Structure formats: C-alpha cells, structure tokens
Structure 1
Amino acid sequence: MEVKPLKIMKIHVFKKAWIGWIFLFLISCSQEIKKTVVIENYVDKVYSLLDTENSRWFFFTSASRPFGMVNLSPDTEIDGAWGSGYRYNTDTIKGFSHIHAWQMSGLSVMPIILSEENKVNIFTDFYSSFNHKTENIKPGYHSLLLDRYQIKAELTSTKRVGFHQYSFPKNKEAGILFNLNTILGPNNNVAGALTQVGESELSGKLIATPTHRRPKQLNIYFKIKLNVPISALVKDEQTGNYLINIKNTASPVLMKVGVSYTSVENATKNIQEELPHWNFNQVIQDSKDEWNSLLGRIKVQGGTEQDQHRFYTDLWHALQGRRIISDVNGAYPDNTGAAFRIGQLPLNNKGKPLFNHYNSDSFWGAQWTINTLWGLVYPEIMEEFSQSLMQYYEDGGMIPRGPSGGNYTFVMTGASSTPFIVSAIQKGLIKENVDSFYQALKKNHMPGGIMERAGYEHKTNFGGGLKYYLEKGFVPYPLPDGDFGSHQDGASLTLEYAYQDWALAQLAKKLGKQEDAEYFSKRSKNYQNLFDLNSGWIHPKNVNGGWIENYDPYQYQHGFIEANGAQATWFVPHDLLGLAKLMGGNKKAVEKLNTQFEEAEKLGFTSGDSHAAELHPEYSRIPINYGNQPSIQTAFIFQQLGRPDLTEYWSRKIIEKVFSGLSHASGYNGDEDQGLMGSLAVLMKIGLFQMNGGTEENPEYQIGSPIFDKITIELNNDYYKGKTFEIKTKNNSPENVYVKNIQLNNTTINTHKIHHDDIVNGGVLELQMSK
C-alpha cells in the first residue's frame, strides 16, 4: 500500500523533469531561431562614396535624415557650388557644416587641439588631413580621424538637429571653432555672431548671402548645447569667428546643433522636440531605422551583390538633396514678397504641421524620375512636396519650379512643376482643393506666369519667350528681346511648353474644363512647328519664322538646353506617334533612333564623366545622353512605337554602362540633380517607366527589362488598397533581356503596359525572359 504513492511520486517527478527538459529545449530552439533570423539591413548596401570625385555642394550626404533640414557632413572643398562639399580626392577637412542644400550653406564647425605653436593663428590655420582608411560612412552617420589633432569626429543627426561626438586625446587643451564668417559652397556666410547663454549653451545667427540663383539673403539661426561646461568663448576680430575652450574631455564631448531659418527660439524648439536626450548611439540607430524603413519599401532578390549595392545606393540618392526649411512647429521663411516674413504652415488638430515646407532644385526632368518613383513607392512624399509648392503659390502668387531659401530661383525653364503636381492628382494623392491647384498651375502657363521667365530671370519676364510661343506657336532662337536670364534656347523651350501644356490639359479634362482642355491640347501640338521635314530633326527657327542657317543637329546648346538637336528631337513624350508620323512612320522613326543608340554606345551613352564634360568637342555631339535629363526617356520610346524588344535591349545596355558601377570616380556623371538620376536608375532596374510622367487618367506604366529575379514594392496603405506589388522574372540573366510573356495576377496580357490601378491594388506581375 505504501509503495503505490512512491511509484506515483516517481512518475510525477519524471513527468516534471521531462516537461522541464522539453520546455528548455523549446526555449533553446526559440533562441536558436532568433539567432538565425536575418533582418535585412539596406543601409549597409549603400555605397555612400559613389561619384564623390565629381560631387557638388548638395550632392554628398552622410549624417543626414531623408530630406533633413540638417545635412551634416565634412567639407574638403568650400569654394563654389560646383566642385565643393565632400570631394573624395581632397585629403583635407576644412570643417563640418550643417547645411548642404540647393543654393544654401551654413554653420561650419571644427574641433581642434590648441598648443603654444598654433594659438596665434588657429583661426586661419585649422585644417586637418584625414585618411579614408580611418573613415566610416553610412546613411545617417559619418566618422573620421583628424590626423593633425588625433581627434575622432563622429556625426549624426535628426531632421533639424546636428549631433556631434568628439573623442579628444587625453591631457590636451581642446576647443571647437565656429567658422560663422566664411565662404561656404554656393555663398558666403557673413554677420555671424555667437553668444554664450548658459554654462554649456550657445546661441547665434549668420546670414547666407544671395547668389546668382537665390537673389535674397537668408538668415540662419542656431542653438548649441554641449554635455560639458564651456570654459571660455573667444572671438577673433580679424575673421569674426569664434572658439570655445573645453577642459573636461576625459569622455567624448557631445554637441547638439539645432538649426532654424526663422529664430533662435525655433532652433531651440527643434532640439527640444527632436533630441531631448544625449544618447548618441540611439540617434545613429534611429537614423538607420528611418533609412532602412524607406529603402526597404522596395525589396530586390537576384542579380549580383554589386547590382544590389548599386540599386540601394541609387534609391538612397532618390530620397535626398531636397531639404526641409520649416521648423517642428510649422514656422518657415517666406522670401517671396518684397519683405521677409515668417510664415506658418497649417496645423492638424494636435497642433502639428500638416506638411513640411521645402527647398528644392528644379523639377526639370522629374516627369521621368521622381514623378514615378515617389508617386508609386513614396506617395506621402509626393503629396507633401505638392502641398509645399502650393504654399509658395499662396505666399508669392506662383508655383515655383525650384525654390531656395523660401523664394523663387527660376532655375532652369518652363513649368516643370506642372507634370509633378498633375501626376500627384491623377494618382489620387491630392483629393482636396484640386480646382485651386489647377488654377495655380494654369497661371504659370499664361502671361504673368513662370513660363515667361528664363533660368534665373528675377527682374524681367522676357527670357522664356512665352509671347512668341502664344503668337507664333514656337519660341524663336535667338530671342530678339535681349539677354534675360539663362537657357534662352527657343527650340527646347517650345518642346517643354508643349509637353507641359498637354499635362495641364489632362487635368483640365479631369475637372470637366473642356474649353481649357482643348486650348492646352492645341498648344501641345506646337512642337510640330519646329519639325523640319527635310532634315528630320527639330530645327530652331528665328523670330521671322525661318529656319536658323547652318543648323547642325549635333551642336550642343545651339537652340537647345543642355542638349543638342539629336537628343532633344525626341522630347515629345505626349505625342510620339505624331512625331513618328512626321518622320515618315513608326518604322523609320525606330530606325533613326536605333542608329542614334548605336552611335551613343560608342561613347558609353553619356557626355563624359561629369556635367562639365558635356562641353567636350566629342562628347557634346553624342546622339543620346544618359548623363543629363533631356534624353533620358529615349530607350522607352521604342516601346511606344511598337518595338518593346529594342526598349529591353537598350535599357539593359544603359544600366550596364551607366548605372552599374560602384566607384568614387563616377556614377552619375556629375549631374545627379537631387535624386533625378538615382530615381531613373531605380525605375530602369525594376522595369517600370512612365513616358508621360503619370499625367494621364489612370496613368500608364511601360514594362521594361528588370535586372532582378524578384522585386517587391511595399505599398503605402494610407494611399493605396494593395499590400504589395511583386514583379517576378523567370530565366532572367544578363543575356535573357527580352520579355516574351507577361502575366498579371495569373492572367496573360498582350501588351507591355499596365496601369496605376493594376499596381496599387496589389498583385503579381510575372515576366518570362529569354534571349
């Protein structure tokens, strides 16, 4: 009788031990599984140094968030908008500055070590060499060693706050220079002043002087906080610059720099809102997470490791360059009027701005690049930029084509914002106040609007030649009125206006404005007035309507903007069938364009390895140039003319020759223009393109030749119904570039085109590839 309880107890103990063993096994397995789960780190795929031998002031970014007001990075060259900023082949750090934007710069600082020898001239002799071997760059982070001082400098940021970490050598007299009065990229920094307002706090202001493109000065305010006391603040009377001394450097010195274009108070609020703590590594991780989140919207599988690294580098470039200028509370600089004022963005019911306000280079060429990429993958960004452009209209009476410092620059030509905003409306990203957007856009296309002004034409409105376009149906070359602004190349202006008129007509049609739709549609045919039936090229005309004499279609910038006639002739994205008819039919047009590609291939499809090389006597005569915007749509023209095989063939060639390398010596040929060429590369590699820039109803996408086996686009559910859209390729390889069979959601389609709704509702596009 007493044995039974013993046996039961033993069995019970055995069961408990067995259950415990299983529990430990499961935990162990669970831990093992967790260890083997790999979270894709897209930031590590970015090659930050791409093309940095040729970079310009706003090109290179390291310690920056997407579209951040602060774009903190080291400067190796500081004189001029071109050939400045971070240049790979220059081994000297001249400061770490916080603003690398279109026509804007500001607030350069430099950590230093003081000695008896350098105290006398430290304000004029403080540069330091560095070595790329001791450098670490990732999106959102930059570190390097200043050889002269043996200081390890680390940089990161939030949207509006730069965050520095300096590791000084022990037992040395440390300091930080504030070079508030200096040439810095595109402009001078002047009237810089710095005041100590607490044991470890400073506030200040400087002025970014006007440039040829940005005609008004810009005030830059800043608040600085350190994690250690400031032992002294010294101003140098000769340079007007400042030095702070720091004694407690046993641990890394941290410094927050909040920036604002409206006030010191708002610079302080930017710090309070975005960086209330001192955890440097946390900010690096937060920045990494933000970049990974955006880069991860497109997941690619297949291709080579280099293909993937270059792809995410291109995508990274597509999300930078254009910069926030508004504060966390929605205050922003408005320079559009006669006198400067501080504007206020509309707020939501929580008191937060409905959108950010932006500084931006031109949207010239955006119809073939960010229109498509942002509109599909980052619709929230496209909507926000559209609202920002509309804010400029409400302030200054005109939608800009490239604003800087809260003002118009009249950069480039035409009404390049029209296709951008029309595309956002056609894709359903803007649903409210659409008629107001239309009226604002229409104003730009009429007398008194932006089409009247050539590049950087601030005080007159003749250079765009709009009056001739309306009276004669073309803009003459040369303009008889005189030299007003830049880019007064009448043939290109005519082509741009015609396409932009067509885009505006699509919006008029959508809104039921039939008379306007017919009027702008008729204007969109004006390109025909410059087509020379005898030569087969777009041919500039003089003011009397005669062809200009001794016309050479391969002469660069002779009636054409940053292009020659051979390249620009194809700038008729809205009526390629009409253009082909003028050339004698689709077959002859295809033969003509194919010959141009064969010739362009001999020069690698670009005009050299930098923007300046386009003036080279040989490179300037290239028939197709994928190093600048005017002819970057041409590979997809074949598809529109019934030859998708040639689109597939040549687009793969271009990817291979132009957009495949990972080198600091090349990459975008020096003219990336704030995400345009990076976006183009991404679109070509995933095999989606929009000839019309997505401006027609239910916009059409042309299918190209993707280089990856699988592409997964994560759709933003705040805008689109679908969860993901996948593009799968079968038998894909560098040789198998041709798409022989297309299935959309398991249904065969007999066209190389799909529509916006087909994508954003989610699904799978399967492409059978072959030789």
Structure 2
Amino acid sequence: MSKFSFPFFFIVLLVGSSCKEERQNDTAENFTEFVNPFIGTGGHGHTFPGATAPFGMVQPSPDNGTTGWDWCSGYHITDSIISGFGQLHLSGTGIGDLADLLLMPTGKTLDVSLFGTTRDSLPYTSRFSHSSEIASPGYYKVNLESNNIQVELTANEYVSFHKYTYQNTNEPSFVIDLGYAVNWDTPTESSITLESETQIVGYRHSTGWAKNQKVFFVVETSEPIVSSQFMANSETLDSKNEAKGIKTGGQFFFDQDSTKTVEIKIAVSSVSIANAKENLISRGNSISFDEVKSQTNNKWEALLSKIKIETPQDSLKTIFYTALYHTQIAPVLFSDVNGEFRLQNDSIDSTQDWNAYSTLSLWDTFRAENPLLNILQPERANDIVQSMLAYYDEQGRLPVWTLYGNETNTMTGNHGVSVITDTYLKGIRGYNVDKAYEAVRNTMMGDIRGLAPYKKYGYIPYTELDESVTISLEFAYNDWCVAQIAKDLGKEEDYKYFSNRSKAYKYLFDTDTGFMRGKSGDGKSWNEPFDPKFSSHREHTDYTEGNAWQHSWFVLHDVPGFIELHGGNQTFTKKLEQLFTESSEISGENVSADISGLIGQYAHGNEPSHHIAYMFNSAKEPWKTQYWVRQILDTQYTQQPEGLSGNEDCGQMSAWYVFSSLGLYPMNPASAQYEFGSPLFEKATIAISDTKNFTIIAENTSPINKYIQAVKLNGESLQRTYITHTELMTGGTLEFEMGPDPNKNWGI
C-alpha cells in the first residue's frame, strides 16, 4: 500500500500542477492511496496526521508540545519537535483540548521530576524530520532523531497500537506523562500503577474546554518491564510501582540485551479502569500491530469506496478522498464495549443496541457534515441522535458542542435542534420520535444562551447580548426546524408558534444598507456606528467570528422572503455578487482569526459563509451559483498542508467539498433538498445500499466547462435547481450537460 510521505508531498507542491496527469484504471485503485492526512496540518486547518479508525474512540497521533491556536490538534506541519504521542485528539477544531495519555519512547534514564512541565523543560522530547513521516488512513510512522527510535501508530475503534523499534539504543524504555498538557487542558488528578510486568493502569482527570474530563486507561506491552521510576507533582518517588497526585508519570525500562521492537496497546474509557481493560480484551487481545493496521485500512477502504469518482486528474482524487476521509473521523465513539459512558455530572449511562458518540461540533457540522452522514451512514446518524437525547436527559436541553461527554456551550444557536430535524425529515427515525420532538421543543422554549430576550422581543437586542445578530438569525432557523417536525406530527399550534418566531430575521434587516444589523430594544434604532467590514472576535460585536458582510445571509429557511426584503431578485443578486467582488480588507483591532479563505468579503474558511454561493439559485440566476461555487472549489482546497482555507471543524470544511465537487449542496439541510452547483467529476457513483447506486454524470465538465446547460434525472429533463433527498436515496442517474457559457434559460 502506498502512503503519503513528506518528500513526495514536497515534490507535489513544486511540480504537481505542471505535470500532465494520466488517467488510471479506476477498477484497480485503492481509495486509501489517494488520502493524504497531512492536508490540513498547515495553515489554520488544525487537523492531525496520526492514526484513527473511522469514528474511532482513540486517535494516536504525534504531539509537538507547542501551545497556540494552530496546535489545537496537537500538531502543526511547521514544527520540528515531537514531545510524545497522545491517544485522544480533535480534528480541525478552533479550541485545543485532549492530547491525553502521552506516551514517548526513549533510550536513556530521564529526570522524571521534569515531567508535566513546558516543552522546553521536558527531558524526553525529540527532533524529527518531515522526510521520515509517513501517513495513511489508520497508520502513522516517524523516526525520532534524538534517540534513533522508529515509532509506528495504528488503531481500531477502541484501542491504540504503538510499535517502537529501538535502533542502537542503550536503555530501551518509554514514558507516560499524565501531567503533559497544552492549550486549554489542565490535569486535576491522576494515578498510574504498574500492575504487572506487562500492564500499567491509571486515570487522568482534567479540566479545560471539557470541564469534567475523566480518562481511565490500561497500557499493555509485548515485552516485560524490568524496572521503572515514578513521579508525582514534580518529585521523584521511591515507589517502583505507583504514583498518585495532580501530575504523575513514569518511565518504564525493557531488557536492553533482548529488546529491539516493542508493541504497546492502549485502551481508554470514560467510566473506569475495569471498562478500559474490557475494551482492551474485547478489541485488542491476541491481535498484532500489523493485523490491526491491515484491518483498519480495509475499513477505510470500504468506507471511502462508497463514493467512486472518475476524473483524469489524480490531484482532484487526492483532494476529494482526503476530504471524504476527514468527514469520517468525528464524531467519535464514546461508549465502551459494554455500552457504558460517563456524563458530565458523573452519572454513568448505558446504551442498548446503539453506540454513544461525543465530539459533537454541531454549529459546524449541521450544515453539511451531518447531512453527508445521513446519506452514507444512516445507522450512525441514528446513534448520533440517540446520543444527543442522552445528553438532553442529563442537562434538560440538547447539546451545543459536546466534548468527552461535557457540554462546552461553544458557539451560537441550538443546532442539536437542526441536526435532529434534518435526520427526522429525511426518514431516519430509529429513536423515540416523541422524545426527540420534546427535546427540540423544550430546547427552544428555554431561557438561557439568549433565548429569554429572543422570546421577549422577537429578536435579541444588541444591548442585551454580544453577537446578537448571529444568535437571532440562528434561533430563527432553529425555530423553523421545530415547526417542520411539529407540522409533520400534526401539532398545528406548535407549528404556527414556531413558524411565526422563525420570522425573527425580518426585524434585523436594514433596508437602507442591505445588511442584518444590531437593533436596540425599542425596535427602531440601530447599533451605531456601523461598518460592515468591522470584526471584533466574540466581544463587543453583533456577529460571531465575522462581520456584517458574512453574517447577513443566514436565512436558510425563507430565501424567497429574504429576497423580498432586498426588493426582489435583481437587487438581491447585485448585493450577493458584491459580497464576492468587494475588497477583502477587514477593519477592527480584534479581528477574528476565523475570517479566512477570503474571496471578496466571502470567507470560506469559516462555516457561516458555506451556503451563500448557492443562494443565486433561488434568485433565478443559477449560473452565478455555478461560477462562484467553481471558484471556491478551485481556490480554497489544495494538496498542500495548507490545503484547507480554515479550520476543518470536525468534517464540515471537507463535507462542503465532498458535496460541492459532486454538484450538490444541502443549502438548507432540513429542507431535504440539495441545490445544484458545478460538478467537478465526469462521473461519480454514490453507493446508497449494497444493491442501489445514485450516479452523477457531468458530460464535458472541465475548468472551462463549468456552466450547466441542461439536467436530466433518470432520463427526464429537469428544470429546477435541486433534487430531493428521496430522489437521491431512491437511486438512479443525474446527468449534467456542461458548457463554457451560462445557459440563462435553464433553472429559472
């Protein structure tokens, strides 16, 4: 199996665009060979290059030990130091946490009292060269230069597998540092015990983004541990078998005469050491590193093969299949093999015939990531809803952003409501529907996170809350979502109530400027002075991680009414096109770093912009959607480490690419419709089931032929600019005829 290593990667950067790409025989391709886990590890992508199984509980990956925003995943391509290999990582988030349970092989006796300090003081860090790195789905390899030790990582759903090859090492050993922490994470209590010559157990409790994070673990070695030394709270201990404290750790030595290669298995649990052991026995017993590597690769192969694209450009295959890979990392498995998982109040819940998931980045993923899972993984989508209902039972409202079972309250709106509505309206209902409706309704009838003033005024006055415009617009969409389930369930009174509240966007539209603006509680005066390019990150602002240009378009549920506010299609499309052609400077002294990937004032590097290019379809100028979508596809995604224009955000950035490159996008996810854009590939086949496919053909598509001339669905001419979820899931063939000039008579 070929893998991406950094030397090849560097060559691609220099000459890839100028090389003539040859068409390969698709039937002989391994899809994992097109995945490059280094994409997104540069710039502000915040991805990690390490190993994971699809949606796996563990993600063993290298950690640089650098504190900073671009190290939210623990790793950045610009770094040249590895501090160790943590077992838990976030994929592309804007806040840094996890990196729990750090292991690091070494070749000499260390001063363990220095464990848990900053990177410059740690005694076990090592330099490395990117030329020695190799990564592919489920596998990572690097050579540590300081001790000439080769590290390989793989994982299945429950267990991390490490392989250390000690090359000319005098004292083969490894460390566990439970005091290691970067960014938001801080340990509060930890314990480590050498239970036998091949097994170490313990726990690490911490606070940070997740306020009550409890990780229990078991570490099993293939070779006996012949000696050890322990530390607690910066003191070396006399004990040779255990340590307890806030920050603890140890160094574990193998026989120097007989040890060349060691395999280590690590299982974790949010519940207990006993559960971690059960996870290890169930999923890690009697299986080798190489066997797991092969099995996980096969799982990735099966998953990636659900969408088969045909294109003469291998660079597009790399971007596409890496994007598809990134969409299948989060959310992550959270329940143990026995079904148990911990909630933030320390109660233990248990699943029955379903898996619990955490790392729910709902503000990001409701837009395209969850809709993609509804197509490719409906069973998992069911489990995600079940998980959200479990969190609802514990906290009385649906989750906002769940990390390791903890509610972080990160970001705006209540998009657990959006995700459940999207799933329900697409016919995925393997959960208690009445309870799901209760959850979405009760969440939107609460008073916290801005709902109290929202209900009082019909919008949130800027005098009541920062980010008032963004929150009001998102609540309006959430309300519309509740109304749709209410309507389907025959709850007419609720349908009318939430439909009326969903018109909140109308209060905030300023006809004089054409922007959504902060309004005072008197319902008349605007927040002054007003600069649509002004940004202030999360404070003293009416907009979340953006400005008026980027946030004035969030009316997913009533685009015709939104267009009417502008004065009709012509005025609307003129303003919308100005978004893409306006100068790109952002004003303010505290500009949000999330404003990236700019095309004019359109900011593809952050999620609020992701639906906007598709709005031309509703204003009867679909050729402009086709033009700008193709511009975004061509300019915001590359094969480089900086190949994502903003945070990956648990799959959303990549899900936009997966959908849009196929020619479809869920502009309003809960509408169960997919808007047409500009398909990149000559042919794409989506496996709906083992016996049913949906095939998308784009005749003559090319960088020049970006405009739709005509569309057929199952041989019948289609004049609308969308297909429905039912049409897609029924299977069949969607045919685009592409050309170099707009067809202004189609789709209007």
Measured against aligned partners, the alpha-carbon deviations of 1:11-38 in whole angstroms (never above 9, x if no partner) come to: xxxxxxxxxxxxxxxxxxxxxxxxx995
Q: Is the Cα–Cα contact under 8 Å of residues 425 and 431 in structure 1 kept in the other structure?
A: no
Measured against aligned partners, the alpha-carbon deviations of 1:409-468 in whole angstroms (never above 9, x if no partner) come to: 1111111111111111111111542121011110111134xxx21xxxxxxxxxx2x222
Task: Give, in angstroms, the shift of residue 622 of structure 1.
Answer: 4.8
The equivalent residue for 2:372 is 373
- Report which stretch shifted further, 101-110 or 536-545: 101-110
Measured against aligned partners, the alpha-carbon deviations of 1:17-68 in whole angstroms (never above 9, x if no partner) come to: xxxxxxxxxxxxxxxxxxx9954312111111113133577x3142111221
Q: Is the Cα–Cα contact under 8 Å of residues 698 and 738 in structure 2 kept in the other structure?
A: yes
- Which runs of structure 2 are paired with 1:592-741 in the superposition (5 Å)? 592-599=575-582, 613-614=593-594, 622-659=600-637, 661-664=638-641, 666-693=642-669, 695-696=670-671, 699-716=672-689, 723-741=692-710
Q: Which AA in structure 2 matches 1:521?
A: S
Task: Give, in angstroms, the shift of residue 214 of structure 1.
Answer: 2.5
Task: Give, in angstroms, the shift of residue 310 of structure 1.
Answer: 0.5
After the TM superposition, which segments of 4 or more aligned residues of structure 1 sit over 6 Å from their partners? 119-122
Task: Give, in angstroms, the shift of residue 156 of structure 1.
Answer: 0.6
The equivalent residue for 2:304 is 295
- Report which stretch shifted further, 557-566 or 648-657: 557-566
Q: Which AA in structure 1 matches 2:640?
A: S
Q: Which AA in structure 2 matches 1:41?
A: N
How far apart are the structure 2 equivalents of 1:174 and 1:431?
A: 51
How far apart are the structure 2 equivalents of 1:56 and 1:149?
A: 30
The equivalent residue for 2:213 is 218
Q: Which AA in structure 2 matches 1:542?
A: S
SS at match of 2:532: coil
Pick closer, same or farther for the CA change 1:50–1:81 going to 2, 3 Å.
Answer: same
Pick closer, same or farther for the CA change 1:687–1:56 going to 2, 3 Å.
Answer: closer
The equivalent residue for 1:26 is none
Task: Give, in angstroms, the shift of residue 574 of structure 1.
Answer: 0.8
Task: Give, in angstroms, the shift of residue 145 of structure 1.
Answer: 0.7
Q: Is the Cα–Cα contact under 8 Å of residues 219 and 267 in structure 2 kept in the other structure?
A: yes
Residue 471, structure 1, aligned to residue 474, structure 2: no
SS at match of 1:503: helix
SS at match of 2:172: strand
Q: Is the Cα–Cα contact under 8 Å of residues 546 and 595 in structure 2 kept in the other structure?
A: no
Residue 262, structure 1, aligned to residue 239, structure 2: no
SS at match of 1:556: strand
How far apart are the structure 1 equivalents of 2:51 and 2:509?
A: 49
How far apart are the structure 2 equivalents of 1:377 and 1:99?
A: 25
Q: Is the Cα–Cα contact under 8 Å of residues 645 and 739 in structure 1 kept in the other structure?
A: yes
Measured against aligned partners, the alpha-carbon deviations of 1:318-369 in whole angstroms (never above 9, x if no partner) come to: 112432221111110111x3xx1222112xxxxxxx2222222431143421
How far apart are the structure 1 equivalents of 2:686 and 2:45?
A: 31
The equivalent residue for 2:107 is 113
Task: Give, in angstroms, the shift of residue 301 of structure 1.
Answer: 0.3
The equivalent residue for 2:76 is 87
Pick closer, same or farther for the CA change 1:180–1:190 going to 2, 3 Å.
Answer: farther
Q: Which AA in structure 1 matches 2:550?
A: Q
How far apart are the structure 1 equivalents of 2:225 and 2:559?
A: 66
Q: Which AA in structure 1 matches 2:553?
A: W
Task: Give, in angstroms, the shift of residue 296 of structure 1.
Answer: 1.2
The equivalent residue for 1:461 is none
Task: Give, in angstroms, the shift of residue 499 of structure 1.
Answer: 1.1
The equivalent residue for 2:530 is 551
- Which runs of structure 2 are paired with 1:238-249 in the superposition (5 Å)? 238=234, 240-247=248-255, 249=258
Q: Which AA in structure 2 matches 1:590?
A: T
The equivalent residue for 1:491 is 469
Task: Give, in angstroms, the shift of residue 629 of structure 1.
Answer: 1.0
How far apart are the structure 1 equivalents of 2:334 and 2:559?
A: 39
The equivalent residue for 2:189 is 191
Q: Is the Cα–Cα contact under 8 Å of residues 50 and 135 in structure 2 kept in the other structure?
A: yes
The equivalent residue for 2:19 is none
Task: Give, in angstroms, the shift of residue 648 of structure 1.
Answer: 0.6
Residue 427, structure 1, aligned to residue 404, structure 2: no
The equivalent residue for 2:357 is 358
Q: Is the Cα–Cα contact under 8 Å of residues 595 and 606 in structure 2 kept in the other structure?
A: no
2:202 equivalent among 181, 204, 225:
204
The equivalent residue for 2:54 is 66
Structure 1 alignment gaps of length 5 or more:
1-35, 347-353, 454-463, 481-487
Q: Which AA in structure 1 matches 2:335?
A: S
Q: Is the Cα–Cα contact under 8 Å of residues 54 and 83 in structure 1 kept in the other structure?
A: no
Q: Is the Cα–Cα contact under 8 Å of residues 105 and 186 in structure 1 kept in the other structure?
A: no
> What is the number of equivalent residue pairs in this alignment?
683
Task: Give, in angstroms, the shift of residue 190 of structure 1.
Answer: 4.5
How far apart are the structure 2 equivalents of 1:423 and 1:371?
A: 8
SS at match of 1:183: coil
The equivalent residue for 2:557 is 574
How far apart are the structure 1 equivalents of 2:164 and 2:231?
A: 23
- Which runs of structure 2 are paired with 1:217-236 in the superposition (5 Å)? 217-236=212-231
How far apart are the structure 1 equivalents of 2:26 and 2:397?
A: 52
Q: Is the Cα–Cα contact under 8 Å of residues 474 and 494 in structure 1 kept in the other structure?
A: yes
Q: Is the Cα–Cα contact under 8 Å of residues 105 and 185 in structure 1 kept in the other structure?
A: no
Residue 446, structure 1, aligned to residue 445, structure 2: yes
Pick closer, same or farther for the CA change 1:218–1:170 going to 2, 3 Å.
Answer: same
- Which runs of structure 2 are paired with 1:129-168 in the superposition (5 Å)? 129-168=127-166
Structure 2 alignment gaps of length 5 or more:
1-24, 91-95, 116-121, 236-247, 741-748
TM-score, normalised by the number of residues in structure 2: 0.87
The equivalent residue for 1:30 is none
Pick closer, same or farther for the CA change 1:69–1:80 going to 2, 3 Å.
Answer: farther
Q: Is the Cα–Cα contact under 8 Å of residues 581 and 600 in structure 2 kept in the other structure?
A: no
Pick closer, same or farther for the CA change 1:513–1:373 going to 2, 3 Å.
Answer: same
Residue 391, structure 1, aligned to residue 390, structure 2: yes
Q: Is the Cα–Cα contact under 8 Å of residues 55 and 670 in structure 1 kept in the other structure?
A: yes
- The Cα RMSD (Å) is 2.4
How far apart are the structure 2 equivalents of 1:77 and 1:150?
A: 20
Q: Is the Cα–Cα contact under 8 Å of residues 157 and 283 in structure 1 kept in the other structure?
A: yes
How far apart are the structure 1 equivalents of 2:111 and 2:271?
A: 35
The equivalent residue for 1:325 is 334
How far apart are the structure 2 equivalents of 1:38 and 1:733?
A: 22
How far apart are the structure 1 equivalents of 2:640 and 2:661?
A: 19
Q: Is the Cα–Cα contact under 8 Å of residues 581 and 601 in structure 2 kept in the other structure?
A: no
SS at match of 1:196: strand
1:276 equivalent among 261, 265, 285:
285
Pick closer, same or farther for the CA change 1:768–1:670 going to 2, 3 Å.
Answer: closer
Q: Is the Cα–Cα contact under 8 Å of residues 61 and 71 in structure 1 kept in the other structure?
A: no
How far apart are the structure 2 equivalents of 1:261 and 1:388?
A: 15
Pick closer, same or farther for the CA change 1:154–1:432 going to 2, 3 Å.
Answer: closer
2:98 equivalent among 89, 97, 104:
104
The equivalent residue for 1:533 is 511
How far apart are the structure 2 equivalents of 1:367 and 1:37?
A: 32
Task: Give, in angstroms, the shift of residue 251 of structure 1.
Answer: 4.0
Measured against aligned partners, the alpha-carbon deviations of 1:366-415 in whole angstroms (never above 9, x if no partner) come to: 34211321111222222211111011112332210211232221111111
- Report which stretch shifted further, 260-269 or 407-416: 407-416
TM-score, normalised by the number of residues in structure 1: 0.85
Residue 285, structure 1, aligned to residue 294, structure 2: yes
Q: Rg larger in 1 or in 2?
A: 1
How far apart are the structure 1 equivalents of 2:405 and 2:333?
A: 10
The equivalent residue for 2:732 is 763
Measured against aligned partners, the alpha-carbon deviations of 1:508-540 in whole angstroms (never above 9, x if no partner) come to: 100001111111111111110111122221121
Pick closer, same or farther for the CA change 1:501–1:119 going to 2, 3 Å.
Answer: closer
Residue 310, structure 1, aligned to residue 319, structure 2: yes
Pick closer, same or farther for the CA change 1:574–1:677 going to 2, 3 Å.
Answer: same
2:42 equivalent among 45, 53, 65:
53
Measured against aligned partners, the alpha-carbon deviations of 1:477-503 in whole angstroms (never above 9, x if no partner) come to: 1327xxxxxxx3111111111111111
